[in-house]
Structure 1
Amino acid sequence: MQTEKKNLEGLGGWLILVGISLFVSPIRLWIEMTQIYQEMKSNGSWELIMSGEADMHYPGIKALILGEIAINSVQIIACIVLIILFFMKKKLFPIVFIAAAAFNVIFLFVDSVVASSIMPDEFFAEEESGKEIARSFMYLAIWGTYMLVSKRVKATFIH
């Protein structure tokens, strides 16, 4: 029994995939944010939104954009915290991981609902939002379950 536990300790097995996703997630999020807001700045919509002019046509659009920026920034910071907890093998890691993944699903859903209510005629990304919500939910379902039932997780995150 002790030998089996010793074999399961450490950042191996399926945890390698979790570790890779922890590194990829903040980079992907940063790139996506940068591309979206660069495009908004280059086509002039950023100035319209930030000046408040766009609120005449789309009430709440400025709050939505600023909220998205704030929450995406918090998610990047959360990923960095998760990376630290992961490599320090902290007992808190599995719970924080599940909470962050659940928060992401909720955020994507709420963001999609709010965006479609602000821009009902022009909300062009509903299908893409649905796919992203489904992907995030599957990530939570698979890796959240793994965090809860895996013997390796229980043997690794003990500090």
Structure 2
Amino acid sequence: MSTNNIDETNNVEEVEYKGLGGWLILLGIGIVLNPLNSILSTYTIFKACFSEGKWSILTSPTSETYHILLKPTIIFEFATNIIMVILSLTVLVLFFKKSKHFPKVWITNFLVLILFLAIDIVLCNQIPSIPVDNLYTQLFKNIIPLAIWGTYLKKSKRVRNTFVK
């Protein structure tokens, strides 16, 4: 009879720690906002570099702002932002579908972002006219959530019980 009580208690715990609740609500808010942030970032780069003849000014060897790595760096940043929009939308869909792939894709998304930021820092450090302080800030702002939420996604009972499809 006491064995049944233990089983019933375990079942109650599993039911309690299932679904998009608890700490997953906070993570979900970030997941919903992330594609919007990525789209805004992509638009900002596009507007700053590709509108009103700015591209030719930035990439012309006769321009004062010209640097040989500026064009490939801008293209890299624009391309990586598009990739991040796609990844963040993928994470969003997997989250609400409660896919078993969500935790790994979320962690991969952050690892890819950190890799892109590290490459961007290396490229921008070669161009004297580009300040890189903001890039270092972005890098650390992404390492911290990866460490916290990545650990949560790996260890949480709620995550294990929710993302099973």
TM score, norm. by length of structure 1: 0.88
Closer, same or farther in 2 for the Cα pair 1:54/1:82, shift >3 Å?
A: farther
Match of 2:150 in 1: 144
Q: Which amino acid aligns with 2:137?
A: K
Picking from 79, 87, 90, the partner of 2:88 is 79
Q: Any unmatched runs of 5+ in structure 2?
A: 1-9
Alignment root-mean-square deviation, CA: 1.9
Q: Computing the radius of gyration over CA atoms, which structure comes out larger, 1 or 2?
A: 2
Give distance in 2, aligned partners of 1:29 and 1:73. Answer: 8
Larger relative contact order (CA 8 Å, sep ≥ 6) = 1
Q: Which amino acid aligns with 1:63?
A: P
Give distance in 2, aligned partners of 1:69 and 1:62. Answer: 11
Equivalent pairs counted in the alignment come to 154
Q: Any unmatched runs of 5+ in structure 1?
A: none
Match of 2:16 in 1: 7
Q: Which amino acid aligns with 2:159?
A: V
Shift of 1:32: 2.2
Give distance in 2, aligned partners of 1:152 and 1:66. Answer: 40
Is the contact made by 1:55 and 1:61 (CA closer than 8 Å) also made in structure 2? no
Q: Report 1:6-155 matches (<5 A).
A: 6-41=15-50, 44-49=53-58, 52-54=59-61, 57-117=66-126, 119=127, 121-124=128-131, 126-155=132-161
Give distance in 2, aligned partners of 1:13 and 1:90. Answer: 18
Shift of 1:40: 3.1
Is the contact made by 2:99 and 2:163 (CA closer than 8 Å) also made in structure 1? yes
Query: Identity, % of aligned pairs?
Result: 31
Runs of 4+ residues over 6 Å off in structure 1:
none
Query: Residue 132 of structure 1: SS of its match in structure 2?
Result: helix
TM score, norm. by length of structure 2: 0.85
